[in-house]
Structure 1
Amino acid sequence: MADIRAQLRAAFEVEHREHLEAIRRALGEPGSADLREIFRRAHSLKGAARAVDMPVVESLAHELEERLSGFVDSGASSAEALSPAIVRLLHDGLDAIEAEVAGVSPLPGESEPAGDEDDDDGPREADRPHEYLRIESEAVLDLSRAMQQLSGDLQGRDTELSALRRLRADLRRIAPAGRAVQRRGAQRIDLDQALRTLERELSGLIQNHVRASWALERSATDLREGIEQVSFAEAESHFGDLGRMIRDLARDQGVEVDVRVEGLDTRAERRVLQALRDPVIHLLRNALSHGAESAATRRAAGKPEALHIRLSITAQAGQLIVRIRDDGPGPDIARIRAAAEARGLFGDRAPDTAPPTPEEVLSAAFEPGVSASEAVDRLSGRGMGLSVVQEAVRKLGGSVRLERRRPVGARVVLSAPLSTARHSIVLVEADGAAYGLPSHGVRRLLRLSADRVETVGGAPAVRLQEDEIEVIAPLAPLSALLGGATEIHALGGHISALLLARGDRRLALAIDHAHDVREIVVRTVDGLGLDRGLALGAAVLEDEAATIILNPDGLMDAWLRRERAQAGAGIGLVAQTSTSDAHVRTVLVVDDSFTTRTLEKSILEAQGYRVLLAVDGVDALGALRSGEAIVDLVVADIEMPKMDGFSLLQAIKADAGLAAIPVILMTSRNDPEDIRRGMDLGAEAYITKQKFDQRELLATIGRVL
């Protein structure tokens, strides 16, 4: 724990100086200063100080925030707000913060411990203090970009190799004709020998090229791994103290809270973790502020008295996924919508047009000044927190969304690249222009027969199969969302498209062509000529052509605004794509036996259930807590490694967000004590495999559901 605190203090040393320097630079030119940026810096500094337990610095930062808040809320210009007297007061506050931080005891390793003069062997290696080497983040990033450029150059060598192989194939194809000419006496030179010599030389060139490329690739891999050792860190280094921070905040507010943090061993680039620290702090504070309810209210709703807050960190497909969820009342859609409308975010809506969808309203919660809080205090802020989160995440090329949880609570899902230098990009062409999209946002590439396109909800759509469920995905031209052509073009009777996915929402975007998928460097660039939120940046390809990298979340939001009626009707939502009127129930089957899992899956799917599989209790709990799918029932074996069925059942019933999910236990032992234990822990039913048959399983599930 001491090592974690030292790492956090070292991170705060860098972070607080960045905030102070940025504010001082802005105050140096008060007439052109960005008041919102100064306010954001003060707000972030306050949260960072709270996280490293520096209450004096937190209080000083809060005073700066308070002094600026009136100007920000009133919309005053920087020239009006930053009078010489106010600037002096702000500088005094910055100086006080700097003096307070400087007065805190030094980090481990900044002073040498007293040695033992009688110890001839010197201090032992394990007793030496940690050494902290501060490296400019830009230097590490530049090194990482250079490595990425090397990888791109290696991809170019693959093109050269392909050309050499085509040349050899051409030679082998024409050689027989050349030899035939020679046999007829039309050539006096030994053509056959010349062709064989040329073929040998080409084969030698190819072998040399392969060997050189392999050596370069190995060197690039070693370089990348070395860079990651320096630039990557475990999430614990930046998020390890946040559970304690929320517990301290809850204690100050008189709120009983149960906080759990999972996935702290997940590794990502330090720069990414550092950039996400403030956003995650904002989201945790929001979970506490908006999720807190009285004990009586929670009891009446069947919840445990303690507010449950969960922070989970995972790595998936090159993305760092951070989920913050609580079991409070959930987002107040009506209040958020009213605040957004007061800011004019939905424009002037005609009486006969569709209202904003819940998704669109929840997305508006990330706009400046939109808040569901009735009161302003140190915890809830002024509707600036979520806009700060969105801005920080967008700078990383990531995305963030707010969701309502079933049956209660809120969840925020934040996604950002594991590395700011490495982006897997799908390169496409639409309306004659080249674009790129991060591959994590593209579910799959589609080649659709034109006669499969139908009209649903007054707009084009296509029916797809996803996990054996029929999905009705809206079909829109990518170019239309970018302000271009609105027609869907079919080439040779087929339409090329990208299937985007965000939670349960699906959207197919028609394109001209999909060219390639590659890892390239994406740079933040302003003035790309697109609406805010549609572009993540730009990349330069090997032909030196600049390509705009699009934001999948921004495209989804643009479609939601453009097609409110279709979105409001539920078109594109996986949860509403069943071909029957009944809701498709999802069953999570948990068993360490592959044969048993396969058997149960086939039985249940034949009856119309959607089936998810897990190999043990740990795997099942991860699937349930990820929130990626709504599970209606868990069927779990008891004897499993890592976490058995009893422990899984206990964990489910102890989690307010999962407790409502019914659980059926299965075992090969017909032990009355096991049955009693399972029922006491909250199992809805108990099936013994000795007398297991298909009819009993289906009848039990039908009764429970």
Structure 2
Amino acid sequence: MDDLLADFLTETHEGLTALDSALVRLERAPDDQPTLSEVFRLVHTIKGTCGFLGLSRLEAVAHAAENVLGRYRDGTLPVTPAGITLILSALDRVKEIVAGLEATGAEPAGDDTALIGALDAAADGQDAPAAAAAPAAPAAQGRAGPEAPAPEPPAAARPSAEAAQHAPAAPPPDPAAEASAGAANAPQTIRVAVDVLEDLMTLVSELVLTRNQLLQLARAGGADAFAVPLQRLSHITSDLQEGVMKTRMQPIGNAWAKLPRLVRDLSHELGKKIELEMRGAQTELDRQVLELIRDPLTHMVRNSADHGLEPPAERRAAGKPETGRIILNAYHEGGHIIIEIGDDGRGLPVGRIRAKALANGLATEAELAQMSEREVLRFIFAPGFSTAQQVTAVSGRGVGMDVVKTNIEKIGGTVELASKEGRGTTFTIKIPLTLAIAAALIVEAGGERFALPQIGVVELVRVGSNQEGAPRIERIKDAPVLRLRDRLLPLVSLAGLLRLEPASREEGFVAVMQVGGQVFGIILDRVFDTEEIVVKPVAPILRHVTMFSGNTILGDGSVIMILDPNGIARAAGVGLDQGAEEGRGGVPAAGGMSSSASTSLLLFRAGEGGAKAVPLGLVARLEDIPGERIEMAGTTPVVQYRGGLMPLVPLMPGWVPPEGAARQPVLVFTENDRAMGLVVEEILDVLDERLVLQEGSGRPGYIGSAVIAGRVTEVVDTAYWLAQAGEDWFRPARAASPAMRPRLLLVEDSAFFRHLVVPALSAAGYEVTAVDGAAAALRLRDDGAAFEAVISDIEMPEMDGIAFAQALRAGGAWAEVPLIALSARAEPADVARGRDAGFTDYVAKYDREALLQSLRDCLTARQAA
């Protein structure tokens, strides 16, 4: 293939890619003259070059399409969806011919008569589909008349023929003049083979390593004579590597260019109204990565259109707009590229995914019962997994998402998803640094050195020094935190996370990191220097260690790992919605949580009066939320939080959200997929105290008072404030409920509700022990523990409440103990089933007063007997 033809193919590919997007824009806005001019110019360029190279078949198709576009541009023919479809068909034919030309160096044989006839009919103002069925003249006769044996004359001769054919019409501008004017103003570019750029990048990488080694030697040896030349060499090397890096970078919009056409075609094929919104198209990434993610992105957009978005009638019935939305978003974060693909469709069917996973043998019923919703959703990445009820030409065979995940992981990336039934699904792709040069801090933890990408570092804080007022690492519930100015910062020990031996010295550093909206600190032993590093991808054997994004060679020849702040945050659980998982299975079978033991309490200030307290086990996270992020949903303040909306409930009457960047302390409570933020004024302290509660004056929102740290402190009734959030927290598949005294056993698998129940029941005068399942309760019975009443959840993993009741009534020390059932299901049939199993009474969650009354009745009846 000669150079001229190769250049033509390159230019034509670029033009066809731009035409797909431009035609979709034109269909949406038929009066958009700039877009119409762009489409006409691109088609004219393709046609004109074809004539110069003698590509008659390609020229005939392009010329027929150009005629229709010329009528559109002149205003003598209205732009219609049918006409745009016909032009797109012509472009598809051009692509087929170009593909054959690229493969063989010559135009492939083929008959374009019907297509050209339809285009000619459309140019004459006839109905395009009807004209398409009519016989058309051969391509060679399409313009010059039935007696002309040769292809039509050059482009310069055509305007007059067209003007004669379409005589009240205004003469179009000279296309040749437009093309030459555009060429004069075009930027000066030159095409360079990709292999050449790859070689340059490799050489620059080696140059950077050599520069680093020379600088290291100069620092160690104190060679002053080389200081100035080395500094100059360093600057030149930095400029050179920056320039070469720019040649490798391309906007991600290049990978999105074909998606508007794809969505437009799917919209017609599926009978849906779909709008594609693309944000961050100018976000740049490495060309190699761009090519590797093109197919996964296409597949996920197809999935959103086919599986995710509902038909118009279904959307109307659900109270949604008829037009569904697919959103593509790309941005830089922490040295990575983050790509989000989301839709506002029906969401992933969690129930069907569970059933399919069980049917396919991917998990047992017991394992599924222990899984969070996010873990269940990840089954869609399993090979051959699909919940589609029928296979379509677009999707449904179960061979897509596992390939997407595999391809992304090949370049060291990850893919996560979040879904809400009825509201939509969002996939988040994170692509780490591969072959690049970046600034990094060289740090030490546990005797090992690491590179910490500087792009994610907000600041460095020296901790533990003898200087008065210096920040110190404190602990909340065994978790390290740092009081940094006006906020409480969660910390992660790098040595502890990597299972290294921590340094014995008390001083160290905290690198304050920001990953998305989450700010946290990494505890380090030492910080050495800032260095430009050449990033090499992680070896496959270490790819499962998500705390690393690559490795590099230092100036002294040492190979060290590059830390991934996102992976560190995820591995340490910072900012993750763990809620009930924190403590699942953490209650000892022999004793569990007891109201007579000391309790970790979080002290805070809110509203009038002194300090207030809440059991720390109930609080999932402490957040400082900028006032600018607080919005109003009707009369309820909310904040966008971890893929959903979290309602904020203020403890202070007359609370007004802060303005701008001013921060608001919030206590976050989570259970399963729900979250609520309790707004307070100031977080004071965390301490362990034996909680001896006395019932208060009946003020709503408080269960009583206790002496804490020598002062009378009101204890918050968390259940009351949860109810103010507007969601029914007490009717999930698994929840907890309150219990009461003299000696009560609470059997409940949810850590959240165990922490919720025990303080409330102890305030009512009961001694409460809580365990996390029926098996632990039976072990207590066998060990000789005695209780006046047992309260049990119904829906629990392994052994549910019904089986537990039957086991107790079968014999043993607790065979006659009053047994109260708690369940989200309190229909007559459910109650009858529970009583048949041996329950003394049956109470709905979370009816606190009914439970207290049931306990009083049961214990009174037992005493009378």
What is the TM-score of this pair, normalised by structure 1?
Answer: 0.51
- Provide the C-alpha distance between the structure 2 equivalents of 1:304 and 1:106, rounded to a whole number of angstroms: 47
Alpha-carbon shift at residue 403 of structure 1 (Å) = 2.8
Alpha-carbon shift at residue 244 of structure 1 (Å) = 1.7
Return the match for 2:276 from 252, 259, 269. Answer: 259
Quick check: 1:586 aligned with 2:629? yes
Alpha-carbon shift at residue 399 of structure 1 (Å) = 3.6
Quick check: 1:462 aligned with 2:481? yes
Classify the secondary structure of the residue corresponding to 2:660. Answer: strand
Return the match for 1:278 from 295, 303, 308. Answer: 295
Classify the secondary structure of the residue corresponding to 1:298. Answer: helix
In the other structure, the counterpart of 2:660 is 611
| Contact 2:272–2:312 (CA under 8 A) maintained in structure 1 | no
Quick check: 1:287 aligned with 2:304? yes
| Contact 2:386–2:397 (CA under 8 A) maintained in structure 1 | yes
In the other structure, the counterpart of 2:197 is 140
What is the total number of aligned residue pairs between the two structures?
Answer: 461
Return the match for 2:322 from 289, 305, 309. Answer: 305
Alpha-carbon shift at residue 257 of structure 1 (Å) = 0.5
Return the match for 1:215 from 232, 252, 256. Answer: 232
Of 357-366 and 341-350, more deviation after overlay is shown by 341-350
Cα pair distance change 1:525/1:267, threshold 3 Å: closer
Quick check: 1:296 aligned with 2:313? yes
In the other structure, the counterpart of 1:389 is 404
In the other structure, the counterpart of 1:190 is none
In the other structure, the counterpart of 1:119 is none
In the other structure, the counterpart of 1:411 is 426
| Contact 2:347–2:422 (CA under 8 A) maintained in structure 1 | no
- Provide the C-alpha distance between the structure 2 equivalents of 1:504 and 1:346, rounded to a whole number of angstroms: 34
Classify the secondary structure of the residue corresponding to 2:481. Answer: strand
Deviations, residues 428-478 of structure 1 (Å, cap 9, x unaligned): 44443344454556666565559744354xx63426669x6655x3x5554
| Contact 1:506–1:572 (CA under 8 A) maintained in structure 2 | no
Larger Cα Rg: Structure 1 or Structure 2? 2
Classify the secondary structure of the residue corresponding to 1:274. Answer: helix
Of 292-301 and 563-572, more deviation after overlay is shown by 563-572
- Code of the aligned partner of 2:13: A
Matches within 5 A, 1:160-199: 162=219
Alpha-carbon shift at residue 350 of structure 1 (Å) = 7.6
Cα pair distance change 1:258/1:115, threshold 3 Å: closer
- Code of the aligned partner of 1:462: V
In the other structure, the counterpart of 2:622 is 577
Alpha-carbon shift at residue 253 of structure 1 (Å) = 1.4
In the other structure, the counterpart of 1:151 is 208
Of 275-284 and 311-320, more deviation after overlay is shown by 311-320
| Contact 2:337–2:431 (CA under 8 A) maintained in structure 1 | yes
Alpha-carbon shift at residue 520 of structure 1 (Å) = 2.1
| Contact 1:505–1:574 (CA under 8 A) maintained in structure 2 | no
Deviations, residues 296-327 of structure 1 (Å, cap 9, x unaligned): 33234432110111223334565433222221
- Provide the C-alpha distance between the structure 2 equivalents of 1:132 and 1:518, rounded to a whole number of angstroms: 34
Quick check: 1:323 aligned with 2:368? no
Cα pair distance change 1:560/1:336, threshold 3 Å: farther
Matches within 5 A, 1:56-95: none
Cα pair distance change 1:533/1:322, threshold 3 Å: same
| Contact 1:233–1:268 (CA under 8 A) maintained in structure 2 | yes
Alpha-carbon shift at residue 424 of structure 1 (Å) = 4.3
- Cα-Cα RMSD: 5.6
- Provide the C-alpha distance between the structure 2 equivalents of 1:477 and 1:270, rounded to a whole number of angstroms: 36
- Provide the C-alpha distance between the structure 1 equivalents of 2:250 and 2:331, rounded to a whole number of angstroms: 13
- Code of the aligned partner of 1:135: A
| Contact 1:425–1:436 (CA under 8 A) maintained in structure 2 | yes
Deviations, residues 98-145 of structure 1 (Å, cap 9, x unaligned): 8697379889xxxxx9899xxxxxx969659999846244x4234223
Deviations, residues 616-648 of structure 1 (Å, cap 9, x unaligned): xxxxxxxxxxxxxx9xxxxxxxxxxxxxxxxxx
What is the TM-score of this pair, normalised by structure 2?
Answer: 0.43
In the other structure, the counterpart of 1:377 is 392
- Provide the C-alpha distance between the structure 2 equivalents of 1:347 and 1:425, rounded to a whole number of angstroms: 45
- Code of the aligned partner of 2:341: I
Classify the secondary structure of the residue corresponding to 2:436. Answer: coil
Alpha-carbon shift at residue 552 of structure 1 (Å) = 4.6
- Provide the C-alpha distance between the structure 1 equivalents of 2:573 and 2:358, rounded to a whole number of angstroms: 16
| Contact 2:459–2:513 (CA under 8 A) maintained in structure 1 | yes
- Code of the aligned partner of 1:233: Q
| Contact 1:587–1:611 (CA under 8 A) maintained in structure 2 | no
Return the match for 1:542 from 535, 551, 555. Answer: 555
In the other structure, the counterpart of 1:61 is none
Deviations, residues 140-162 of structure 1 (Å, cap 9, x unaligned): 23422322333344445554565
Which structure exhibits the higher relative contact order, with contacts defined as CA atoms closer than 8 Å and separated by 6 or more residues? 1
Structure 1 unaligned residues grouped into runs of 5+: 12-49, 59-96, 108-112, 117-122, 168-201, 590-605, 614-629, 631-705
Alpha-carbon shift at residue 231 of structure 1 (Å) = 2.2
| Contact 1:268–1:419 (CA under 8 A) maintained in structure 2 | no
| Contact 1:506–1:573 (CA under 8 A) maintained in structure 2 | no
| Contact 1:154–1:217 (CA under 8 A) maintained in structure 2 | yes
| Contact 2:273–2:324 (CA under 8 A) maintained in structure 1 | yes
Cα pair distance change 1:288/1:558, threshold 3 Å: same
Cα pair distance change 1:399/1:163, threshold 3 Å: same
| Contact 1:289–1:380 (CA under 8 A) maintained in structure 2 | yes
Alpha-carbon shift at residue 553 of structure 1 (Å) = 4.7
Deviations, residues 54-75 of structure 1 (Å, cap 9, x unaligned): 69999xxxxxxxxxxxxxxxxx
Cα pair distance change 1:53/1:529, threshold 3 Å: same
- Provide the C-alpha distance between the structure 2 equivalents of 1:287 and 1:347, rounded to a whole number of angstroms: 29
Alpha-carbon shift at residue 551 of structure 1 (Å) = 4.6
Classify the secondary structure of the residue corresponding to 1:422. Answer: strand
Deviations, residues 183-235 of structure 1 (Å, cap 9, x unaligned): xxxxxxxxxxxxxxxxxxx5xx3xx633x245324433442354245323333
- Code of the aligned partner of 2:337: L
Cα pair distance change 1:218/1:478, threshold 3 Å: closer
Alpha-carbon shift at residue 328 of structure 1 (Å) = 1.4
In the other structure, the counterpart of 2:435 is 420
Cα pair distance change 1:297/1:101, threshold 3 Å: farther
Classify the secondary structure of the residue corresponding to 1:283. Answer: helix
| Contact 1:263–1:314 (CA under 8 A) maintained in structure 2 | yes
Return the match for 2:537 from 524, 531, 540. Answer: 524
- Code of the aligned partner of 1:7: E
| Contact 2:628–2:661 (CA under 8 A) maintained in structure 1 | no
| Contact 2:434–2:537 (CA under 8 A) maintained in structure 1 | no
Cα pair distance change 1:438/1:240, threshold 3 Å: same
In the other structure, the counterpart of 2:13 is 6
